[in-house]
């Protein structure tokens, strides 16, 4: 992965500018989202629809700020943090960021393994190894062919994910009234708060915040202030908006499918059980598409997660390790989880909770940096934008405090 800046070229069309946000959006439809959203719908019905909508809106703001930072400054978020901190702080910051990246990878590999078991009845450990191997091939596409081919592959897989999870809602549409009722913010006990935190942790993901700044910088370069930068920032807003609408629709479809089809059924607290229930209720085609969507989610998201981990390391401590070695190191925890016989669906949900703890460490520097006029110049955040971004950080941090309390006392 190279961070060498190239001179920006005047793009021929708006479509040619789209792509980075769709790669980052893979983080929002990963297997952790699947587990959290299906669990929330199966257990609480339409209660947490509002969490999906709120998380997606927050993610859109955060991802645009990240992309803007990279495009305006020519720095990824990890590089910008490095510029503003001393060595001990950088090392501590890198350690937590890499821990979050490994938790991310655990979710993606476990999800891919579950999908391969559903599709081909493969043992979970073998499925995890295959997921890791395929993700390595996808990473080699980026390493050897560059960012644009990688974007095309990942965007194609995002389309497969969308079809896989939207199919069940199209086959059996949920009640419109119940869906609208779920937009009213409320909880129903400690478990609903736990799932809400997991859903937010699976949506506003730290590694996607770090990654998007580098993706935007590598795609668009670091244009000087002027018409080209204005056009690129406008295109970035559209890129983020389209990607977030797609990701949000997929996430919402997961929850609505579970609320409409799985609630009240027994043995749907695992992805395997949910898959079986969908097959019984909606037929084998819907179940097959669900499993294919889950597989595409695991394969694409683990590749993007490993890419983000490399960007974090290079940006913060200026160290690079061979791609294969990094893939093997981050694969080990997931394989251990699978080999130990731990319930993989529960492991997915808990991994999303772990991710939520890393969110403030990504959001706070991002808001501070993009609100710094000396760094951002005329593209500094508007006061309202900064206020909204700080509100997002406070809401997520508050949920984390509640989550810690529930975990300790539960």
Residue ranges of domains in the chain: 16-409
CATH topology of domain 16-409: Amino acid/polyamine transporter I (1.20.1740)
* pTM strictly above 0.95: no
Q: What is the pLDDT at residue 333?
A: 85
Q: Which two tokens stand for residue 101?
A: 């990246």
Q: What is the pLDDT at residue 67?
A: 97
Listed in sequence order, the residues at least 6 apart from 139 whose beta carbon sits closer than 8 Å to its beta carbon are 303, 306, 307, 323, 327
CA distances from 61 to 65, 238, 240 (A): 6, 12, 9
Are 342 and 84 a contacting pair, CB within 8 Å? no
Q: Which two tokens stand for residue 329?
A: 């190191």
Helix residue spans in 121-226 (DSSP H)? 124-145, 147-171, 176-181, 190-203, 206-220
Nearest to 257 by CA among 178, 200, 196, 188: 178
Are 213 and 66 a contacting pair, CB within 8 Å? yes
Q: What is the pLDDT at residue 352?
A: 66
Q: What is the pLDDT at residue 9?
A: 52
Are 23 and 151 a contacting pair, CB within 8 Å? yes
For 43, half-sphere exposure in the C-beta direction (CA atoms, 13 angstrom radius) is: 19
DSSP-assigned letter for residue 225? T
Q: What is the pLDDT at residue 344?
A: 83
Nearest to 117 by CA among 107, 127, 108: 127
Residue 336 burial (CB count, 10 A): 13
Listed in sequence order, the residues at least 6 apart from 315 whose beta carbon sits closer than 8 Å to its beta carbon are 3, 76, 77, 78, 79, 81, 82, 210, 214
Query: DSSP readout, 233-254?
Result: HHHHHHHHHHHHHHHHHHHHHH
Q: What is the pLDDT at residue 2?
A: 45
Q: Which two tokens stand for residue 258?
A: 């579970």
Integer-rounded Cα Rg, in Å, for the chain is 20
Q: What is the pLDDT at residue 3?
A: 46
Are 362 and 39 a contacting pair, CB within 8 Å? no
For residue 347, is it left (φ>0), alpha (ψ between -120 and 50) or beta? alpha
Q: What is the pLDDT at residue 360?
A: 85
Please work out, in degrees rounded to the nearest 5, the angle formed at the alpha carbon of residue 76 by the alpha carbons of 73 and 77. 100
Question: Which residue numbers in the chain have pLDDT < 50?
Answer: 1-4, 6-7
């Amino acid at each position: 992965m190279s961070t060498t800046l190239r001179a920006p070229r005047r793009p021929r069309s708006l479509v040619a500018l789209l792509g980075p946000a769709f790669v980052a959006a893979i983080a929002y439809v990963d297997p952790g989202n699947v587990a959290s959203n299906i669990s929330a719908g199966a257990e609480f019905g339409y209660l947490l629809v509002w969490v999906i909508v709120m998380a997606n809106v927050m993610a859109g703001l955060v991802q645009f700020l990240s992309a803007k930072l990279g495009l305006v400054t020519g720095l990824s978020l990890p590089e910008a943090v490095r510029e503003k901190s001393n060595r001990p702080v950088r090392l501590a910051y890198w350690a937590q960021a890499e821990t979050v990246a490994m938790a991310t990878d655990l979710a993606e590999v476990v999800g891919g393994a579950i999908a391969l078991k559903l599709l081909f009845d493969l043992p979970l450990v073998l499925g995890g190894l295959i997921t890791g191997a395929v993700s390595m091939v996808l990473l080699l596409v980026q390493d050897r062919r560059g960012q644009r081919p990688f974007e095309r592959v990942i965007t194609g897989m995002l389309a497969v994910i969308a079809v896989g999870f939207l199919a069940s809602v199209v086959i059996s549409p949920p009640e419109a009234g119940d869906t609208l009722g779920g937009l009213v913010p409320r909880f129903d006990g400690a478990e609903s708060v736990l799932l809400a935190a997991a859903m937010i942790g699976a949506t506003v993901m730290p590694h996607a915040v770090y990654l998007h700044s580098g993706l935007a910088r590598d795609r668009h370069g670091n244009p000087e202030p002027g018409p080209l930068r204005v056009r690129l920032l406008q295109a970035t807003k559209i890129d983020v908006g389209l990607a977030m609408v797609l990701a949000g629709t997929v996430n919402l479809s997961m929850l609505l499918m579970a609320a409409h089809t799985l609630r009240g059924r027994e043995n749907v607290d695992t992805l395997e059980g949910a898959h079986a229930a969908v097959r019984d209720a909606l037929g084998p085609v819907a179940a097959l598409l669900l499993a294919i969507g889950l597989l595409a989610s695991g394969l694409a998201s683990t590749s993007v997660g490993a890419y983000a981990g490399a960007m974090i390391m290079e940006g913060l401590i200026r160290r690079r390790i061979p791609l294969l070695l990094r893939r093997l190191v981050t694969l080990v925890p997931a394989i251990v989880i699978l080999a130990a016989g731990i319930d993989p669906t529960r492991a997915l949900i808990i991994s999303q909770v772990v991710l939520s703890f890393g969110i403030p460490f990504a959001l706070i520097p991002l808001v501070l940096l993009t609100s710094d006029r000396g760094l951002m110049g005329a593209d500094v955040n508007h006061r309202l934008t900064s206020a909204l971004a700080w509100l997002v950080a406070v809401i997520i941090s508050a949920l984390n405090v509640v989550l810690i309390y529930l975990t300790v006392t539960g």
